[in-house]
Amino acid sequence: MKFYIAVLLLLIKTSFTFGQKETFFKNVAPIIYNKCAPCHRPGEAAPFNLISYEDVVKRASFIKDVINTGYMPPWRADSHYTSSSFSNVRMLTAAEKKTINNWIDSKMPKGHEIKSTTDILNKYHEGTRYSRQPDAVLSVSKPFQVKGDNAERFIVFKIPFEFDKAQNVEAIEFISKNKKVIHHANFAIYDVPDAISTTSQPDFINNTVGESDESQIAYAPLKTNMVYYGGWIPGTGYESYPKDIGWTMPKRGVILLTIHYAPVGKDEIDLSGVNFFFTTTPIKRVIDVINFGSGGVAEEEITPYFMIPADSVRKFTLVVSNPEKQSIIAVWPHMHLLGKSFKAYAITPQKDTLKLISIPDWDFNWQELYTYKKPIIVPEGSRLIVEAVYDNTKNNPKNPSNPPKMVFGGGEMKTKDEMMTMLLLYLPYKEDDENLNLEDQK
């Protein structure tokens, strides 16, 4: 008798379990809040919020389409092509996609609000995506008006700063009051000696018109020593560093912030800057940044000559010798609208291949800094190789020229021009870097 009762209870329990459906707060919200809400929330670049149950239900059909096609969350790198693995992957797992699909197909039950789920949202502080408020917010001097004339703009803003002392940096973050009008932003941080004025130059320079870079001339006295270089594109958040690793913000200097404003049809206002998060923990190892390719190191080494004739698909290669043993912690590829694919790897003196990054289907709208879980160790004497393919034909739906026109590559930043660039973050090698955990935060 006891046996039959046990079997009956088991059947009832199993039936109940199989009959359970995913609910928003228990099953779906943790995925949405972790993978979507970082961009789809007030103040960020996404065009709508995905915070409440109602937000998600209203766009359920759209969400189902974009996650099943892999369009969202955006991640363009081949995660299998790397000698390490990436720490900032945003792709949904097969199980996460199945959960969302099952929930939508089951008429999207809401369920009961769960504190542990809503706590995920509470980690987002107003004005930042980092885990705490910034120690310093350095912004442009006044709001900038972006004219609604459907023209793209490249504006270089000067942001002077002075602290009581130099500061150890554990994280940085580009911020804006209107990210929806920004295509991308780059910023260089310079240490400026006391003898040089940081206020005599204009607050900003418009580099949109003409071929000359007026900011190169006007801001030349400030460019005595670049300490660090960073940037932002839609989808990226803050940049943080592992324990004991980072860089030092000088006591006095300037930030030269270059913002590429996308074409807009109505006047917009923007106020941008950079959040800084400092630490009292001593920095034992300093991150180095180097820019390869057009507008950077070894531009002349691109072969063939970097120009893309109309109605052609061209492949270009950059080969650079590695002068020292390095521990690479992140890479940031960059091309424009003609970009078709991008690949970077290193060949060691022993003929081993170290895979850095492959983006088989380039997407100009989604570029980012790809960070590794463990560094990729590149021996001295290795050859760093970058291969980029461009499609300057009418078959490229993103081609900005119709009919296609000859395009010359270089350091030009205009969208109709082209670039072949890779930003590389690395540490000079130390023993046991092979076991360095880059996810071990301060």
> Does the residue 3 lie in any domain?
no
Higher pLDDT among residues 325 and 34, named by residue: 325
End residue of a domain, out of 223, 251, 285: 285
Residue 210's pLDDT band, with cuts at 50, 70 and 90, is low
Q: Residue 13: is its pLDDT beyond 60? A: no
DSSP assignment of 348-410? -TT--EEEEEEESS--TT----EEEEEEEEE-TT-EEEEEEEEEESTT-TT-SSSS---EEBS
Decide: 279 and 442 in contact? Cβ < 8 Å.
Answer: yes
> Does the residue 426 lie in any domain?
yes
Q: Residue 183: is its pLDDT beyond 90? A: no
Q: Of the given ranges (11-20, 154-163, 279-288), which has the lowest mean pLDDT?
A: 11-20
> Does the residue 275 lie in any domain?
yes
Are both 78 and 187 inside the same structural domain? no
Residue 119's pLDDT band, with cuts at 50, 70 and 90, is confident
Per the structure, the count of domains in the chain is 3
Q: Residue 126: is its pLDDT beyond 80? A: no
Are both 194 and 307 inside the same structural domain? no
- Provide the 10 A C-beta neighbour count for residue 323: 9
Domain that holds residue 47: 21-122
Are both 114 and 185 inside the same structural domain? no
Are both 272 and 409 inside the same structural domain? no
Are both 329 and 359 inside the same structural domain? yes
Q: Encode pLDDT of 405-430 as tens digits.
A: 999 876 556 778 899 999 899 999 99
Are both 314 and 373 inside the same structural domain? yes
End residue of a domain, out of 122, 157, 177: 122
> Does the residue 8 lie in any domain?
no
Q: Which pair of tokens denotes residue 208? A: 């949109």
End residue of a domain, out of 285, 308, 332: 285
Report the predicted TM-score, pTM, of the whole model to 2 decimal places. Answer: 0.82
Q: Encode pLDDT of 220-234 as tens digits.
A: 999 989 999 888 877
Where helices occur in 20-59 by DSSP H, the ranges are 29-35, 53-58
